[in-house]
Amino acid sequence: MSVNVLILLFFSSMAHALPSSTTMVALDTAPGEAPLVYLSDGSVQEVPPGSEEWIQRQIVSTGEHGYGVLSESPIAYESDVLDEGLMHRWFKAMNRKTRYRAQCYNRAHVWAYEADRDLDIRSEKLFMFFSSRYIREYRYRWWFHVAPLTRVITPQGPEERVMDPGFFKQPVTVKDWSDDFIKPKTPCKRVSRYSDYASVQHTEYCYFMVAPMYMWQPKDLEAVDRGEPVKDRFLPFDIETAYRQAFR
């Protein structure tokens, strides 16, 4: 069977297994390694050798991928600092009626939206990006995860807490959150631009980027790098799609 036929069969089966809204975001190649394609749902797929040129054309045609051009991020945003009681009240109220294999960015967007709507909480998002190095060394099959982030009053001053009931039974510190995903428990490097992750894939295992609660997917962060306006409100299309795809 020819390589072209194998490629066609692979992508045909992948298309049937994934939601129609899922697109290819980036291609990762390394000498002596199978090529990997990063998908918009956060997953990573190993693809047949010889498919790189075809994949790259698809990525360019979707306009999904491109490194930033700004010298620094224009994102300026200030979230609320909560007392411990309100933080736990929010966590307890977070919508658990999620669909099987719901995507993290949809869950996080609804959780942040409902906290703003119902509790008047202005939160943030914490995006954790897994590098090519980590994905290949540990055969990990996701390239990002995201959850709401808030700050809570403590005797030592305001501290960050991640709100992720999909994986935890209570709010957790940023380090405890990342340790659940990063096997060697290596701290993730903080960046202020999406391109600081996308353009450096072989040094760190993971990267953190804090963003306003209105930012839905990594493509929103990438758009800011290209000079597009920062989202400053919840958009109806984003919210409607997040509910439909992630919640029952």
Map out the domains of the chain with their CATH numbers: 3-62 (2.40.50), 81-246 (3.10.620.30)
Give the distance between the most distant pair of CA atoms in the chain.
67
Taking the C-alpha atoms of residue 157 and residue 231, their distance in angstroms, rounded to an integer, is: 29
Which residues, at least 6 apart from 23, have a Cβ–Cβ distance to it below 8 Å? 39, 40, 62, 64
For the chain, report the end-to-end CA distance as a whole number of angstroms.
Answer: 43
**What pLDDT, on a 0 to 100 scale, did the predictor assign at position 65?**
42
**What pLDDT, on a 0 to 100 scale, did the predictor assign at position 21?**
67
pTM of the predicted protein model: 0.87
Taking the C-alpha atoms of residue 17 and residue 14, their distance in angstroms, rounded to an integer, is: 5
Which residues, at least 6 apart from 109, have a Cβ–Cβ distance to it below 8 Å? 216, 234, 238, 239, 242
**What pLDDT, on a 0 to 100 scale, did the predictor assign at position 60?**
55
Q: pLDDT exceeding 70 applies to what percent of the chain? A: 85
**What pLDDT, on a 0 to 100 scale, did the predictor assign at position 71?**
41
